Amino acid sequence: TQLLEQSPQFLSIQEGENLTVYCNSSSVFSSLQWYRQEPGEGPVLLVTVVTGGEVKKLKRLTFQFGDARKDSSLHITAAQPGDTGLYLCAGDPSAGTYKYIFGTGTRLKVLA
Amino acid sequence: NAGVTQNPKFQVLKTGQSMTLQCAQDMNHNSMYWYRQDPGMGLRLIYYSASEGTTDKGEVPNGYNVSRLNKREFSLRLESAAPSQTSVYFCASSRQGFRGYTFGSGTRLTVV
């Protein structure tokens, strides 16, 4: 069974601080997605990375896919209270099946 | 633009009762999925439908059945509910060639 491990599990920081969330596996994925989930809602797709070494930026969020396509990171610069939520990574183990495997999540709280 | 709509939003069942969770998408997506989300375990795939007329098992299919009624609708049925099926259930859809899901807002099910 392919697993995606996220770290840290919980993170509580002050507004304005920077943070990095990691998503690691021993398996190769054809693509990897990052989602954010708010209480009482479903996850919302933030980004998809496909190529090893790929870096994508979404305003203050920077996503990187590892060279070997086994890991990914999410870096948030100058965190804001609106960034609070559960961040999930999801990997596609077989291109074209779209049966994603989800990590257990990182719960982020940004304090004003 | 409703996206993915799930009903009901909340449900309490007694052990042994049956129920059907409804899901409909209005984005003309080919593929639809049912996941369950449990604390500390992330999202786990129950069943999926790659296209209208096809369904297949995911990681945790036991105790569930599904029906892809048409391209829009994908229902999940619990024939005899058990306390272990207490969870938050998410329906998701994806369009062909796009790597990422659109999720509904979930059904919170408690089995007592």
Q: What is the pLDDT of residues B81-103, one digit of tens each?
A: 999 999 999 999 998 888 899 99
Q: Is any Cβ of chain A less than 8 angstroms from the Cβ of B58? A: yes
Q: State chain A's mean pLDDT as an integer.
A: 93
pLDDT band at B1 (very low <50, low <70, confident <90, very high): low
Q: A98, B31: Cβ pair inside 8 Å?
A: yes
Residue A83, token pair as written in the block: 């960034």
Q: Is any Cβ of chain B less than 8 angstroms from the Cβ of A46? A: no
In the prediction, which pLDDT does A1 show? Answer: 60
| Chain A nearest C-alpha distance from B42 (Å) | 4
Q: CB of B72 within 8 A of CB of B26?
A: yes
For an interface test with B, the pick among A98, A99, A101, A107 (most B C-beta atoms closer than 10 Å) comes out as A98
Q: Is any Cβ of chain A less than 8 angstroms from the Cβ of B87? A: no
Q: What is the mean pLDDT of residues B5-33?
A: 97
SS3 string, chain A, reads CCCCEEECCEEEEECCCCEEEEEECCCCCCEEEEEEECCCCCCEEEEEECCCCCEEEECCEEEEECCCCCEEEEEECCCCHHHCEEEEEEEECCCCCCCCEECCCEEEEEEC
B83: DSSP letter: G
Residue B40 reports pLDDT greater than 90? no
Residue B51, token pair as written in the block: 């296209």
Q: What is the pLDDT of residues A1-34, one digit of tens each?
A: 668 999 999 999 999 999 999 999 999 999 999 9
Amino acid of residue B82 = A
Q: What is the mean pLDDT of residues A55-71?
A: 96
Q: What is the mean pLDDT of residues B17-26?
A: 97
Using alpha carbons, select from B87, B67, B86, B88 the residue that is nearest to residue B76. B67
Q: How far apart, in whole angstroms, are the C-alpha atoms of residue B61 and residue B36?
A: 10
